[in-house]
A = this chain, B = another copy of it.
């Protein structure tokens, strides 16, 4: 693991998710940006001092020398966004054939970096997984399966929103660590659009399979002194899927100034035959409506979920709530499945097929850029393919 030392939020979450199913072990780390903090964090986590590194460069250098079963199966990158590219590149490029990379979203900053990573991933043959964790929820997978099975018919309209309130005040100026780097344009690469908007984009794409053609985005910074957007409202037009029919549209909103909202990610999808609705804060329920007026609640783990990836992504019977960590761990189960398949040459299993890879990571970065570009042009329609 690179990054994720004491005080880091997402690194600790990654470790919970990695540990949950007992399929992998954290054995080495460069956990902080200063040598002291890195060493201390490693000690706190019980890492072998020999594999606790003072910097990510040392980690890659040191671990590259190990081979066979002693070699790392993957490196997890949970550093601030602006460092993603350089570290990921170094991991993929590392002596001995590179390392598989697991990286938090967004994948990187620039569209050029995206292209480099796409190329490098292809040539290295390594896996680059981007932890868009929300698509690990079983009922998000169920929603995808329902859409793919045609239960909703041709999709017309999507509402996806991600509303939080924790940045409604100038938290960064108080020194709160999370808020600080996320509010620095150079480190975060954007504000709400980058931090949570990209999760919303990924969720909608995962469930519907639709591709964004163009968007019109209005980004705002409401909090005095903030240098990145803290609110984004985006109209989206998807690429056509059915000749003659109007292409589907979406409204995506992401905001971090919605006082009282905690982690309000939700998705609603409507087709010409049905509609569905899912809320991250009540993740064990999926509402499905039909044209005939039937409203069904599908609960995680129930017989109605079927036997596909949604069913495989659940550990407990219905009524025994699973949450954020379990969903995150489902992404890791897919990654571990993929790494085992890489070793054995076996075909990808159902969970491995759903991992967000460099493709999804690249799409996310292009989406962020298009939104920023559109907003600079007063919400002018901006085509993603133009980037």
Query: Within 8 Å of chain B (Cβ to Cβ): is A156?
Result: yes
Q: Which chain A residues numbered 181 to 232 have a C-beta less than 8 Å away from chain B?
A: 216, 218, 220-222, 224, 231
Tell me, yes or no, whether A104 is within 8 Å of chain B by CB: no
Selected interface stretch from A81-89, A275-283, A339-347, A360-368: A275-283
Taking the complex as formed, is A332 at the interface, i.e. its CB lies under 8 A from any CB of chain B? no
* CB of A39 within 8 Å of the partner chain: no
Inter-chain CA distance A262–B293, complex, in Å, is 9
A319 and B262 form a contact (CB under 8 A): yes
Q: Is A313 part of the binding interface, using a Cβ–Cβ cutoff of 8 Å?
A: no
Tell me the complex Cα distance, A324–B283, Å: 13
Task: Tell me the chain A residues, 302-351 only, with Cβ under 8 Å from chain B.
Answer: 302-304, 315-326
Q: Which residues of B contact A323 (CB under 8 A)?
A: 284, 316, 320-323, 326
Residues of the B chain whose Cβ atoms lie less than 8 Å from the Cβ of A299: 262, 295
Is A268's beta carbon under 8 Å from chain B? yes
A216, B379: Cβ atoms closer than 8 Å: yes
- Contact of A293 with B289 in the complex, beta carbons under 8 Å: no
Contact A258–B281 (Cβ < 8 Å): no
Q: Closest B-chain residue to A133, C-beta based?
A: B320
Taken together as a complex, chains A and B put the C-alpha atoms of A275 and B272 apart, in Å, by 31
Contact call A379/B321, Cβ cutoff below 8 A: no
Cβ A165 vs Cβ B235 within 8 A: no
CA A22 – CA B12 in complex, angstroms?
Answer: 11
Is B324's CB under 8 angstroms from A324's CB? Answer: no
> In the complex, are the beta carbons of B319 and A325 less than 8 A apart?
no
Interface: A273 (CB within 8 A): yes
Which A105-146 residues sit within 8 Å CB-CB of chain B?
Answer: none
Residues of B within 8 A of A166 (CB): 317
Q: Choose among B15, B302, B325 the residue that contacts A322 (Cβ–Cβ < 8 A).
A: B325
Contact A231 B156 (CB under 8 A): yes
Known contacts A246-B221, A275-B165, A282-B282: A263-B295 contact under CB 8 Å: no
Task: Indicate whether A260 reaches chain B with its CB closer than 8 angstroms.
Answer: yes
Q: Which residue of B lies closest to A244 (CB)?
A: B224
Stretch at the interface among A57-65, A66-74, A248-256: A248-256
Q: A222-B156, A263-B319 are contacts. A20–B22 as well, Cβ < 8 Å? A: no
A251 near B253: Cβ-Cβ < 8 Å = yes
Question: Is the C-beta of A291 less than 8 angstroms from some C-beta in chain B?
Answer: yes
Chain B residues lying within 8 Å of A231, measured Cβ to Cβ, are 156-157, 249
Say if the beta carbon of A294 comes within 8 Å of chain B: yes
Whether the pair B15, A22 counts as a contact (CB closer than 8 A) is yes
In the complex, whether A98 has a CB less than 8 A from a CB of chain B is no
A259 within 8 A of B: yes
Q: Say if the beta carbon of A50 comes within 8 Å of chain B.
A: no
In the complex, what residues of B have CB within 8 A of residue A263's CB? 317-320
A264 contacts partner chain B, Cβ-Cβ < 8 Å: yes
In this assembly, does A173 line the interface, its C-beta being within 8 Å of a C-beta of chain B?
Answer: no
A284–B161 CA distance with the chains assembled, in angstroms: 21
23 CB-based A-B contacts, threshold 8 Å: A16-B21, A20-B325, A156-B222, A156-B257, A164-B319, A220-B249, A224-B245, A235-B235, A235-B379, A259-B272, A259-B274, A260-B275, A260-B295, A262-B317, A262-B318, A282-B321, A283-B321, A284-B323, A293-B304, A295-B299, A296-B297, A315-B325, A316-B323
A20-B20, A218-B249, A260-B274 known, 9 other contacts, Cβ within 8 Å: A12-B315, A16-B315, A156-B231, A164-B319, A168-B270, A233-B235, A251-B253, A260-B287, A264-B319
